[in-house]
Amino acid sequence: MVDGVSGSSGAGNGVLSGSRTTIAQNFDTFLQILTTQLKNQNPLDPLDTNQFTAQLVQFTGVEQQLKTNEFLQSLLTTTQNTQRSDAVSYIGKQVTVSGSTTQLKGSHAMWAYNADANVANATINIKNASGDLVYSQTGSLGMGEGTFVWDGIGSDGTPYPDGLYTIKIDGTNLSGKAIKVSTSSVGLVTAVDFSGSEPMVTVGASKVPMRDISEVRSPDVASANQTTS
């Protein structure tokens, strides 16, 4: 996986090196021809200096462009290395990822939520991968961020197998006005994949891009507003 990224950068550097070698060889040839022309020019019809001056300017422009490309390639390589280091540091950490689906594993599934206001009447529904309702709970939620942990036991007392489950939280205030409650999945990062154009972290059974991660924290740190089924 890492070799794929490194190989791509190496190929880019090889192209730049080859281009620099070619322009240097052409420039040396140009100077040799120019020197020969100057030595053997007709005094009555001297070589037009504007022509070879224009060619010198062209060679200089190409050389500057190659240097710019080398700088950009170096910057890209540095950025890729930084992304890889950042991604690896996520392994073993608990992350919050956009979306409402998370993995139940070992009788533990966790979601994060954010309520726009205090929710007097909240309904929490959890469905399995087939879309069947397996768990439902009512109660109240405080305004702001919190987490909900499910132990995998259905509302009827049935223990459900490990797998992907989706949560939906609806709520109203004391006046019956609907309150928006957004949800995110929470899980541990177990691996990082560098084979694509950007690092993908493995959270549960899913691979997600780093840009979808909204929070990273130690798995031992629990939210102050944590709600358990």
Same domain assignment for residues 140 and 31: no
The predicted pLDDT at position 199 comes to 81
0.75 exceeded by pTM: no
- Please count the other Cβ atoms lying within 10 Å of the Cβ belonging to residue 216: 15
Residues 208 and 200: their CA atoms lie apart, in Å, by 5
**Domain finish residue from 20, 54, 89:** 89
**pLDDT computed for residue 167 by the predictor:** 96
Within a domain: residue 227? no
Q: Average pLDDT for consecutive 10-residue bins of the chain (229 residues)?
A: 37 53 63 69 65 68 72 67 71 87 90 94 96 96 93 95 94 95 90 82 83 80 51
Report which of 100, 111, 92 is spatially closest to residue 201, judged by C-alpha positions. Answer: 92
Radius of gyration of the chain (CA): 31
Q: Does residue 151 sit in the same domain as residue 207?
A: yes
In this structure, the answer to whether residues 102 and 208 fall within a common structural domain is yes
What residues make up the domain containing 62?
Answer: 2-89
Report the SS3 class of residue 49. helix
Alpha-carbon gap, residue 148 to 72, rounded angstroms: 45
Domain boundary among 89, 121, 143: 89
